[in-house]
Structure 1
Amino acid sequence: MQAYVLINCNTGSETTLISELKELPEIIEINGVWGKYDIFIKISTADPNGVEQIVKRLRNHPDIVDTYTMHVLYGQGGTIDNE
């Protein structure tokens, strides 16, 4: 299972939060971003409930204010290298 998650966090906590989230093995990409959201992550897990478990963990973090999760639809796209 793969998903992208956009995160809003408390102002000033971005750098610390990114460092913490880098330690989670299910997070395979993480970037600070400008705009409506503060952090962009990509989750990949073999567990069918893995995305839900990670998102619940994110939502319980004291510095995370809001999340927006987008589950990947398999068979529609992929990386440029795969096409």
Structure 2
Amino acid sequence: MEKGFVLINCDLGAEDYIIEELKLVPQVKSAYVTFGAYDIIAELQAQTLEDFDQTVAH
């Protein structure tokens, strides 16, 4: 089982929409709005590193 975090930048005001879309991805276990250099942090979990990479790439 592979687990990691993805830091995301997005347009101002799009955070809530993006988090709702991320919740539709089975590998995304949680997603939160942050303050600072990045706008969103998402926790991903996948069976293999290849699956993890494919999720991040899409």
- Normalising by the residue count of structure 1, what TM-score does the alignment of the two structures yield? 0.64
Q: Which runs of 5+ in 1 are unaligned?
A: 58-83
- Larger-gyration structure (1/2): 1
- 1:41-60: per-residue Cα shift (whole Å, max 9, x none)? 11001033111111111xxx
Counting matched residue pairs gives 57
RMSD: 0.9
Greater helix proportion: 2
Using structure 2 for the length normalisation, give the TM-score: 0.89
Q: Where in structure 2 are there 5+ consecutive unaligned residues?
A: none
1:60 is aligned to none
Per the alignment, in what secondary structure is the counterpart of residue 50 of structure 1? helix
Identity across aligned pairs (percent)?
Answer: 32
